[in-house]
């Protein structure tokens, strides 16, 4: 009888220790989303450090935009971005990353104006030409 208990105990320990390292790999692909373009701010030379960097990625009818601004902060609502699409003011964003959803098919010009919160003059401006297919 003791042999059966010892055998069951050993088999149980073997099963428990054998399953510890069987961790599945994540299914998400690395670098499945990456920004593809950078745009130079107007009025600055390429040799100077760019105070306003914009990265964007077109996916379907949506444009994913990420901005990096060295002269202002988005944390305390100190800055905003005014978006114009094809010459018409479209939206105002108070965060550094946002999505423009549902653009119609065709070529579009996006203009991003970086402004300090209570000022009318733009700190920097970016103009991008994109194509929605």
Tell me the pLDDT tens digit for each residue of 78-103: 889 999 999 999 999 999 999 999 99
Tell me the pLDDT tens digit for each residue of 10-48: 777 766 666 555 566 665 555 445 555 555 555 444 444
- Residue 5 dihedral angles phi and psi, to the nearest 5°: -65, -40
Look at residue 30 and tell me if it is in a domain: no
52-to-59, 64, 70, 91, 106 alpha-carbon distances in Å: 23, 16, 7, 18, 27
58-to-52, 65, 101 alpha-carbon distances in Å: 20, 9, 10
pLDDT range class, residue 73, cuts 50, 70, 90:
confident
As for how many domains the chain has, the answer is 1
What is the pTM (predicted TM-score) of this model?
Answer: 0.62
Look at residue 15 and tell me if it is in a domain: no
Count of CB atoms within 10 A of residue 27's CB?
Answer: 5
Looking up residue 43, the CATH number of its domain turns out to be 2.60.40.10
């Amino acid at each position: 009888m003791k042999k059966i208990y010892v055998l069951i105990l050993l088999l149980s320990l073997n099963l428990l220790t054998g399953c510890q390292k069987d961790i599945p790999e994540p299914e998400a692909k690395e670098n499945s989303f990456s920004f593809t373009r950078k745009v130079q701010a107007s009025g600055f030379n390429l040799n100077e450090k760019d105070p306003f960097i914009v990265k964007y990625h077109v996916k379907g009818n949506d444009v994913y935009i990420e901005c990096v601004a060295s002269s202002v902060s988005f944390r305390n609502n100190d800055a905003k971005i005014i978006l114009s699409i094809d010459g018409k003011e479209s939206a105002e964003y108070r965060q550094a990353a946002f999505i423009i959803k549902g653009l119609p098919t065709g070529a579009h010009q996006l203009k991003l104006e970086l402004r300090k919160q209570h000022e009318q003059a733009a700190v920097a401006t970016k103009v991008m030409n994109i194509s929605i297919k």
